[in-house]
Structure 1
Amino acid sequence: MGETPGPTIFGIDVIWVATLLSAVACMMVLVALYAATTARNPMGRRVKALADRREQLKAGITASTSKRRAKLVAKNETTDRMRAMLSGLRVLQDEQLKAAQKKLMQAGIRSKDAAVAVIFGRLVLPIVFGISILVLVYGIDYFPDWTPFKKFGLVAAVLIGSYKAPDLWLQNKVTKRSDAIRKGLPDALDLLVICAEAGLTVDAAFARVARELGRAYPELGDEFALTSIELGFLTDRRQAFENLSNRIDLDAVRGVVTTMIQTEKYGTPLASALRVLSAEFRNERMMRAEEKAARLPAIMTVPLILFILPVLFIVILGPAACSISDAF
């Protein structure tokens, strides 16, 4: 006689499932007993982890320092070659270099060598892309059906676009960074007011605000931390505030800098002036948000007509059209 099959649920043997669950339960009980009876030393484990991390940091700092030095040497050699080439062509002017450095500071790029790279890109990109598009359009005649006017327009657009590409990229970074700083400026001024009323000095207040807002607004925290450092070692504190206004392309920051300079010069109360500026900036931010909300209906009109209304008509009229077609 054959063996009697056990009870099943959905085709699965109940006894086999119960045996498997019992084995898992026994294993968990053994693990719990081992964890309860084994003595732990969390402090020793923490100290060991810190010691290992310290050794890793020492090794990493040594390796990264050598790598950083090698990169700086290679970068300086490349920059020197670019500078020599631009100087030989008589296209590297001091005013142009200072303007590029100012734009780079406003974009958050501290390296002065990047200004030479930007000017070098303005010179090289039109040559490279210009020769490529000339060969493509007139050399191999890649667009045989185009009129001469279209070909000339394509070549001119590529030349102008390649020349303006570094400036457009830089301006885009400046705009994004300025918008990020504008969002956090009212909160930063409120914290400055609190720090001033608590009795902190100006440089200590800037350092405190940079530490508190560094995670929420890293760009603003970076600028405030740099200003705090400059206030600590520059002989003329006015120069530190002017450097802040030069590094940030915002009228609001220029207003704050003017207020700080007047406070330093005439000894006027800092907290009251910053409180007024903070209220103005918050009202400006609210007005900007209301302006975007007012523009939203006009912006949504085209997507509504092109994408939402056709689908709505299909959903509403589709069943009726199907019923009519079935009736006939």
Structure 2
Amino acid sequence: MLTTLKDMLTETLGPLGPLAVVGVLGIILIAAVLPTLLKKRADPYAKLRGAAVQSAAEAGGKGQKKTLRQGKSSEKLDKFANFLEPKTEEELSTWRLKMTRAGYRGRDAVRKFHAIQFILGIVFLILGVIYAIVASATGEISTTTLIIAVMLPGAVGYYLPKYWVERRIQGRQGEIQNGFPDALDMLLVCVEAGQSLDQGIIRVSKELQAGYPALAEEFEIVAQEVKAGKDKTTVLRGFSERSGVPDVASFVTVMIQSQSFGTSIAEALRVYASEMRDKRVMRAEEAANKLPTKMTLGTMMFTVPPLLMILVGPSVYDMLQLFQNFQP
């Protein structure tokens, strides 16, 4: 019976038909078993052991190992937490910083990112399997092509969210870098008009909302943290870490030194704003100087071949006609 079934699948789906059917059945079985495993009831003895370990850790104090999640939550993503978030505290902090720089500041941003990454990887992998089944049914397909058709979409789906986050980080950092000189000029005007640095930051965050929303959001966070009573040095360093822009880091260093040594903040802002304007002009000149080099390849590809065809084409045609006429 198995031989008959194998022959029938081979005739219907091609030589790799049985392998494709086994793969689909495996995916179906995993999808059927997974909800049962996730809804498994907790062992009462495990709860007692956990309570005993927690009480012993509270009594011991320093011997307790840090956990990645603080407190209890009833969210649906908690049951997927073993494979939807990093396993170590350092990796979690790194991804949380990346998500913050990309503009995703939610408490579960890292967990949602890994959930999307996992779901897209599975979905694209299933699409690759479907394509392999259809391709094997319509014609012969090699093993290498089958592996590429199945694994490549899964890899694309897995790395697509990471690429999106990196692009978001680059876009926000570019926006902050471009708008920072204007923000410093506005802040200098506010300080010289008699406002404090905190009031100037609030005013700048409102004025930049239309042109540079990412920078305005960062300034608003700085203002809210200062209002909440945090130390200004800590707030400025957090601003530098969240943005990830070297110009902002230099500005934070200047502000901290000016506050520590008691120098004039307006003078420091005036000098630093002038330097930032010069750097922006230099970046624009650098981009303009790179433009001819970047256009060289396009010019060679789209200008030289048509020009050669126009100039050399008639001569080549005449030579071919003469060669045909002289043939016996």
TM-score by length of 1: 0.63
| Partner amino acid, structure 2, of 1:80 | E
Match in the other structure for 1:80: 75
Q: What is residue 238 of structure 1 aligned with on the other side? A: 233
Q: Note the 1:231-310 alignment, pairs <5 A.
A: 231-308=226-303
In the alignment, the residues of structure 2 paired with residue 113 and residue 235 of structure 1 have an alpha-carbon distance, to the nearest angstrom, of: 24
Secondary structure in structure 2 of the residue aligned to 1:126? helix
Rounded Cα–Cα distance in structure 2 between residues aligned with 1:287 and 1:146:
55
Contact 2:209 2:216 in 1 (8 A): yes
Aligned residue for 2:217, secondary structure, equals helix
Note the C-alpha offset of 1:287: 2.1
Distance across 2 between alignment mates of 1:185 and 1:312: 46
Q: Residues 107 and 177 of structure 1 are in contact (CA less than 8 Å); yes or no, is this contact kept in structure 2?
A: yes
Shift in Å, 1:250: 0.8
Tell me which structure has the larger Cα radius of gyration.
Answer: 1
Whether 2:194 is the aligned partner of 1:202: answer no
Cα separation, 2, equivalents of 1:129 and 1:94: 30
| Structure 1 residues 58-73: aligned runs within 5 Å | none
| Gapped regions of structure 1 (runs ≥ 5) | 1-77, 318-328
Letter paired with 2:274: A
Deviation at 1:79, TM superposition (A): 8.7
RMSD in angstroms over aligned alpha carbons? 3.4
| Equivalent residue, structure 1, for 2:121 | 126
Identity across the alignment (%): 31
CA contact (8 A) 1:106 1:248 kept: yes
> Offset at 1:172?
0.8
In the alignment, which residue of structure 2 is the partner of 1:25? Answer: none
1:187 is aligned to 2:182: yes
Deviations 1:171-191 (A, max 9, x none): 111111111111110111122
Matching residue of 1:149: 144
| In structure 1, C-alpha distance between the alignment counterparts of 2:106 and 2:161, rounded to whole Å | 16
Contact 2:84 2:115 in 1 (8 A): no
1:253, distance to aligned residue in structure 2 (A): 0.9
Structure 1, 251-260 or 118-127: larger mean CA deviation: 118-127
Question: What is the one-letter code of the residue matched to 1:85?
Answer: F
Q: Give the drift of 1:211.
A: 2.2
Are residues 1:106 and 2:84 paired?
Answer: no
- Report the count of equivalent residues: 244
TM-score when normalising by structure 2: 0.63
User: Structure 1's 234 and 305: CA in aligned 2 closer, same or farther, altered over 3 A?
Assistant: same
Shift of 1:142: 6.8
In structure 2, list runs of 5 or more residues that go unmatched: 1-72, 313-328
Give the distance between the partners of 1:297 and 1:217, measured in 2 at CA: 29
The one-character-per-residue Cα deviations of 1:274-314 (angstroms, maximum 9, x if unpaired) are: 23322332222222222222221222223334445667789
Counterpart Cα distance in 1 of 2:103 and 2:301: 41
Q: Give distance in 2, aligned partners of 1:89 and 1:223.
A: 28
Cα gap change, 1:90/1:217 in structure 2, threshold over 3 Å: closer, same or farther? closer
